[in-house]
Structure 1
């Protein structure tokens, strides 16, 4: 059970997050966050109870990190579920100066858009994505919970890979140090903690 727990929790939370962020009948943000947070906490507690000692603690932390990254990955994949072909009407270049140590200039390009249905109407990027009158394909959230972005501009591959690595670590720890596995190993080893020798088995058999 402990070995299957990380994968089961990740799949369940991924499905919940994808529906919450991109589903047509998605729950409110409060409900989505509450259920997701409770699921992450329950998974961590269950892992800690099922896995021995320090491995249970660190494995639970790895599992929490993996589940949070799973939510972030689902957010980026599912939240901008609609795509529109838009025309860039005008590009405004703005320069922001940071004050303080390590400060510098940052240029933002604000693209005024003309899209079917009127939304999105603007898009901010750190570079010019098209000239005036050019076309751009924009991914956006119909419920307007997150800002629009150029389609395919920010795939969450890094988060997904890191989540898989943390899940693999949690699964390996559960397989190696699960409490159920320890009881089975102790039962096979006998009371002394070592497997009985062939000589002792034959001696007991002769008696």
Structure 2
């Protein structure tokens, strides 16, 4: 009787260990899989030959980011799992930024800055991104497009000229010509997602 109970206990312990290992491996693999899916979805919405409607693209992206973070937390568990899930969400948002920056803006226009409106965006508490100033530049461009550009710094004084790269289909926001590069957000995305992967693989949650 005692031997049977002991064997059953060892078997259950081994099952629990195997389940925990599978969940840990799943949490470790999830960041890479989610990043590929998120980048693909963002690229399709921003630069695909048959673009998605904007509401569909936004909702689909939100589902991917939030769903991946929730799945990660369920797999990893505990405070480490929560921290890793937050890192995963941040990494996926950086992935979307990289996709946006890599999308083509084939049209250029030499525009005049008509007005500048600076607005402060406050931080939302400890751990949130710090506050920043957003500069909305009203533009006068040939043909009237684009009409404005938002940046985190002055691009020219009122009355000054600036060359703007944009997409006439309005799938991506305009930028100052020659300044958009996906490498910085991509590098941060890789670093953040790698940390999330390490946390997911290190955790050994209780099944």
Whether these two folds match at TM > 0.5 is yes
The two structures, once aligned, show a CA RMSD in angstroms of: 3.5
Paired residue for 1:141? 167
Paired residue for 1:55? 80
Unaligned runs of 5+ in 1: 99-106, 184-207
**1:67 correspondence with 2:92:** yes
Distance 1:164 1:108, change over 3 A: closer
**1:29 correspondence with 2:75:** no
The correspondence for 2:178, drawn from 147, 152, 157, is 152
SS of 2:165's equivalent in the other structure is strand
Alignment of 1:4-23 (within 5 A): 4-23=29-48
Compute the displacement of 1:96 (Å). 6.1
The CA distance in 2 between the partners of 1:167 and 1:121, in whole Å, is 35
SS of 1:82's equivalent in the other structure is coil
Paired residue for 1:186? none
Asked if the contact 1:73–1:159 (Cα under 8 Å) also holds between the matched residues in 2, the reply is: yes
The correspondence for 1:41, drawn from 49, 66, 82, is 66
The CA distance in 2 between the partners of 1:43 and 1:59, in whole Å, is 11
Paired residue for 2:105? 82
Asked if the contact 1:50–1:178 (Cα under 8 Å) also holds between the matched residues in 2, the reply is: no
Paired residue for 1:127? 156
TM-score, with structure 2 as normaliser: 0.63
The CA distance in 2 between the partners of 1:9 and 1:108, in whole Å, is 33
The CA distance in 1 between the partners of 2:31 and 2:190, in whole Å, is 10
| Range 68-77 or range 165-174, more displaced | 68-77
SS of 1:3's equivalent in the other structure is helix
Asked if the contact 1:83–1:151 (Cα under 8 Å) also holds between the matched residues in 2, the reply is: no
The size of the alignment, in residue pairs, is 164
TM-score, with structure 1 as normaliser: 0.63
Larger relative CO (CA 8 A, sep 6+): 1 or 2?
2
1:129-179 Cα deviation digits (max 9, x unpaired): xx88xx95x421232255432332132443322222210111001111144
Unaligned runs of 5+ in 2: 1-25, 120-134
Distance 1:55 1:73, change over 3 A: same
